[in-house]
């Protein structure tokens, strides 16, 4: 069918990635240093990404293209967590796309917990409300114990969520930060994780062995690095060979971002010491 859809001028595109978080449907990806349309069926043609390209490389054209698939797009968005779903529903509502909005609502209604209303619609499902973004950096920190052993050590966690699958690359806590990217097990193996690694930093965790679709992790971290000023990345991994994927994912994301980011790596033994 012939319809409106985005066009990316590869000659103008410099791969900055600012369009990626602006696309609610996840239709744009950075491939080989250029923004590309992942699939016609993921682009609704409404152009939310247009104003985000500093090079003016994105425009709307009318051409033969696969029909937009709201359910396919929504399934893609749900991987990013409830906040991304909420933004997508608002996007549809703001653009008067009532048929797509109702289609999304019908699909989400089968999926679980409750979500905010849009234009009088009933509350919809979106996934776990506990994955909603929280920024604790401005909150007062609990007082540290007077001396070691005289009470619980305070948490140094300054944001929520922490799982990479749930994080939004455009979250405000990613701006001008030092980042810790940790394998899931590292904080359990290393008892002083908060004081040694996390203090004053933002945390991202994942498991390179058990998690699926690690390429999407590379893409998401690439989007984080491109859309924000990340001063440094501290990688914390376990000594087991499969955990080397933690470093590989971060290194590839930094490479794709084109940014010059300081990287440090720590390896934790299974008995909890730094190797």
| Whole-number pLDDT of residue 119 | 43
Please give the CATH architecture assigned to the domain spanning 2-64. Answer: 2-Layer Sandwich (3.30)
Q: Is the pLDDT of residue 136 over 80?
A: no
CATH 2.40.50 fits 133-268, yes or no: no
| Whole-number pLDDT of residue 14 | 87
Q: What is the 3-state secondary structure (H, E, C) of the chain?
A: CEEEEEEECCCCCCCCCCHHHHCCCCCEEEECCEEEECCHHHCCCCCCCHHHCCCCCEEEEEEECCCCCHHHHHHHHHCCCHHHHHHHHHHHHHCCCHHHHHHHHHHHCCCCCCCCCCCCCCCCCCCCHHHCCEECCCCCCCCCCCCCCCCCCCCCCCEECCEHHHCCCCCHHHCCEEEEEEECCHHHHCCCHHHHHHCCCEEEEECCCCCCCHHHHHHHHHHHHHHCCEEEEEEEEECCHHHHHHHHHHHHHHHHHCCCCEEEEEEECCCCCEC
Domain with CATH 3.30.70.20 in the chain: 2-64
Task: Let me know the angle formed at the C-alpha of 76 by 22 and 186, rounded to the nearest 5 degrees.
Answer: 90
pLDDT tens-place string over residues 29-83: 888 888 899 899 999 998 878 777 888 899 999 999 999 999 998 888 887 777 7
pLDDT tens-place string over residues 213-268: 788 899 999 999 998 999 999 999 999 999 999 999 999 999 999 999 999 999 99
pLDDT tens-place string over residues 76-110: 888 777 777 888 888 888 888 888 999 988 888 87
CA distance 266 to 275: 7
CA distance 55 to 126: 34
Q: Is the pLDDT of residue 208 over 60?
A: yes
Segment of 23-37, 128-142, 168-182 carrying the highest mean pLDDT: 168-182
| Whole-number pLDDT of residue 124 | 41
Instruction: Tell me the residue length of the chain.
Output: 275
Domain with CATH 3.40.50 in the chain: 133-268
Q: At 231, give phi and psi (nearest 5°).
A: -75, -40
Q: Kind of pairing, strands 28-31 and 34-37?
A: antiparallel
Task: Report the mean per-residue pLDDT for the chain.
Answer: 85
């Amino acid at each position: 069918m012939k319809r409106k859809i985005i066009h990316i001028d590869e000659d103008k595109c410099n791969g900055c990635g600012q369009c990626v978080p602006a696309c609610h449907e996840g239709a744009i990806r950075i491939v080989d240093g250029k923004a590309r349309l992942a699939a016609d069926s993921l682009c609704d043609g409404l152009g939310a990404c247009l104003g985000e390209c500093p090079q003016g490389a994105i425009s709307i054209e009318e051409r033969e293209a696969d029909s937009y698939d709201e359910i396919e797009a929504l399934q893609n968005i749900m991987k990013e967590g409830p906040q991304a779903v909420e933004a997508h529903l608002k996007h549809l509502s703001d653009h008067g796309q009532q048929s797509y909005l109702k289609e999304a609502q019908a699909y989400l209604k089968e999926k679980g917990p409750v979500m905010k209303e849009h234009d009088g619609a009933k509350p919809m499902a979106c996934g776990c409300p506990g994955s909603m973004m929280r920024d604790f950096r401005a909150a007062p920190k609990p007082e540290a114990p007077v001396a070691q052993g005289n009470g619980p050590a305070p948490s140094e966690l300054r944001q929520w969520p922490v799982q990479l699958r749930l994080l939004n690359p455009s979250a405000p806590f990613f701006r001008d930060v030092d980042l810790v990217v940790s394998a899931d097990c590292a904080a359990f193996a290393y008892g002083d994780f908060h004081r040694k690694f996390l203090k004053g930093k933002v945390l991202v965790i994942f498991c390179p062995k058990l998690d699926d679709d690690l390429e999407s992790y590379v893409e998401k971290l690439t989007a984080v690095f491109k859309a924000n000023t990340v001063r440094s990345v501290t990688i914390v991994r376990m000594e087991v060979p499969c955990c080397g994927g933690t470093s590989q994912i971060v290194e590839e994301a930094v490479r794709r971002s084109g940014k010059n980011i300081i990287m440090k790596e720590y390896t934790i033994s299974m008995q909890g010491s730094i190797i």
